[in-house]
Amino acid sequence: MCGVAGFLDPSARVRNARGVLDRMSDALHHRGPDDSGVWWQPPLPFGLAHRRLAVIDPTPAGHQPMASETGRWVIGWNGEVYNAPELRIELERAGMRRWRGHSDTEVMLATLDAWGIERAVDRWRGMFAGAVVDLERRLLHLIRDGAGKKPMVWGWIDGVLGFASELRALRAIGRAMPPVHDGAVAAFLRYGCVPGEQTILRGIFRVPPGALLSWPLEGAVGAEPQRMEWWNPLRVARACESKPLAIDAAQIPRQLQEQIDAAVARRLRSDVPVGVCLSGGIDSALIAASAARLTGSAIHTFTLGFDIEGFDESAAAQSTARVIGSKHALRIATSADVIAAATRLSQVYDEPFADSSQIAVLLLSEFVRGSVTVALSGDGGDEVLGGYERSAAIASWWSARLGGRGWVATVQADFARRMMPVLVPLLRRAPRLIGRGGISRPQEKLEKLSALVRSESLGAAIDALSSIDVDSSSLLAKSTQPLARLQDADDAITTEGILRRVLREEFAGQLIDDLLVKVDRASMSVALEVRSPFLDRDLVEWAWRLPMDAKVRFGHKQRSFVCKWAARELARSVCPEVADLPKMGFGVPIAAWLRGPLRPWAESLLSRSAVSRAGLLRAEGVQSLWQRLLAGDDSPRHQVWSVLMLQAWSERWR
């Protein structure tokens, strides 16, 4: 796990290229504190800087940037290729014998020499993003893994093409960074992140997941890249769905275990200590149990807890740890921890980012990094195996509305839309009523239900349930349309067809734009490598071929459902204590924190002078939102948090 940055300067505008590369490298020190390197060979108009977190072959034989045996390829990259040992054996059988060490970087370069870049990247199994220069064909390539685990941004700045793991490294290139993209700001306030390829800065873009972007070394200033996609998530998902597995339902949990074991085994390969982030949920429990069984010894597991009812899963995590016999470590976060983490977030996230659980992820990452360098997580399990209740709710509700169940369904939908504005305020005042039956965080469930019922179309429903605020126009200093989030084409208007579409969009959208950004920036800020077995390519493609009732099972007249059926069935034999627990997620009591320990920090960022100084929002709208929260209304908590993250980012990075 590392950081990479560099530039392509076809018109020789960079002065002191080595100094620029050194500054780019320094900006990414947190991602790779173990080693650094620079590749710069004038008169070539290309420079590459690398920061290394040494995990595989920590000797100088793994130093980057690294050139291939033939000298044709030079690479600087970030991540891990888990099947490097298997690829090495294949190359040796084909006649390759000379190796400098046992790093996956060297194997990647050997595959480039043997097969060329288009075939090689398709054979790599892991998480990766980086730059590869082909000195024979005189091309620069930027690459990113199909699940988008690792980041890579690029853009033309003062006539120079810059690229980096994080935006902050690009500041070394030009006299000034590009202006803020107004549509990206609007989208951020809606989703809590900037979706898709556009970043918060105009003209700076992300390399898409599963893509290869290429430029000639002597090309024109401002040139657009040639694109090649080898693993587009939406396209691959549809292809897999068209070839469903012929499998008996009773066999699915066993096959899921085999897939998990194979993915975990690949991710246990490391020359540094490995642990597991263990929440109280099913996904991390299955990963931890698999790791314990495969290693045959007591693995290290880590949990972060909160001393607040409804936001703490540490008891369930400790129960799982006892069952699998792990060496378990628990940290209970204090108010002081929360304040310290919140005030650091604008350093950790180089773009505005407003998933409030980022505080918990940062605190957990700091805790885990005190003992190990690599940690396995359950990230991706919900997207791959159908774990979100909102997905099932959308499929159930909209299949009834669109599937021809008659005038009764139409009348029910119209009545529900008209009544929700009346019912929601009443139910918010009676939390005990909506909290019966073990429903976790009932207010959040109620808000999502309201958004679902009020939606006028299927696309609007999907968008609303993944949004912080569907209309932030009252907050924006400049009225503009937000960038659109990725949407897939409709399938058949059936419960199964709608559910497939929703799951594809969650994987290719919210997982990549939100969850993986949250984990990557928080973990890499403390040089912790997080590996996600549920995002193993073989496991993902297998899961996309499963029948839908292996993911979500609907009850009588589809008014009830069980999410993540296969994973729950497997959990009954592995860690039964968590098999039937309701999903909580990694939430935090953000409204209480903002009215309590975080209030002084928040008020300094939300003051009229601070908002005016940033120039992105309207002070009146911000103050109105803040006063509602202070008066005890929790409903705008996520909007307030997004405003705070935008303000904090603006003050630090602009």
**pLDDT at 471 (0 to 100):** 79
Contacts of 210 (CB under 8 A, 6+ apart): 144, 145, 146, 148, 229, 230, 231, 232, 233, 236
pLDDT greater than 90 at residue 491: no
Decide: 75 and 49 in contact? Cβ < 8 Å: no
Mean pLDDT value of segment 113-137: 97
Per-residue confidence (pLDDT) for residue 578, from 0 to 100: 85
Question: Are 57 and 103 a contacting pair, CB within 8 Å?
Answer: yes
Confidence of residue 442 (pLDDT cuts 50, 70, 90): low
Contact 173, 160 (CB under 8 A): yes
List of E strands, 165-286: 204-206, 211-216, 226-229, 274-277
Distance, CA of 24 to CA of 167 (rounded, Å): 10
Separation between Cα atoms, residue 321 and residue 329, nearest integer Å: 9
How high is the mean pLDDT of the chain? 90
Paired with 3 in beta bridges are: 51
The pLDDT score that the predictor gives to residue 165 is 98
Are the CB atoms for 193 and 151 separated by under 8 Å?
no
pLDDT of the residue at 194: 97
- At 283-329, the pLDDT tens digits run 999 999 999 999 988 899 999 988 776 677 788 899 999 999 999 99
Is residue 476 a contact partner of residue 186, using CB atoms and an 8 Å limit?
yes
| Mean pLDDT, rounded, for 603-625 | 95
| Percent over 90 (pLDDT), the chain | 75
3-state secondary structure 516-568: HHHHHHHHHCCCCEEECHHHCHHHHHHHHCCCHHHCEEECHHHCCEEECHHHH
Domains contained in the chain, CATH given: 2-231 (3.60.20.10), 244-386+504-578 (3.40.50.620), 590-654 (no CATH)
The predicted structure's pLDDT at residue 469: 82
- The pLDDT assigned to 176 comes to 83
Residue 426 CB-density burial (10 A; 0-12 exposed, 13-18 middle, 19+ buried): exposed
Q: CB count, 10 Å around CB of 236? A: 21
The reported pLDDT for the residue numbered 438 is 43
pLDDT exceeds cutoff 70 at 415: no
Lowest mean pLDDT, pick from 34-43, 193-202, 337-346, 453-462: 453-462
* Neighbour order of strands in the sheet with 2-8: 35-40, 46-52, 2-8, 160-164, 153-157, 204-206
pLDDT at 420: 52
Q: Is 541 left (phi over 0), alpha (psi -120 to 50) or beta?
A: alpha
- How far is residue 531's CA from residue 508's CA, in Å, rounded to a whole number? 18
Which pLDDT band, with edges at 50, 70 and 90, does 585 fall under?
Answer: low
pLDDT band at 434; cut points 50, 70, 90: very low
Candidates 524, 467, 483, 516; CA nearest to 197 is 483
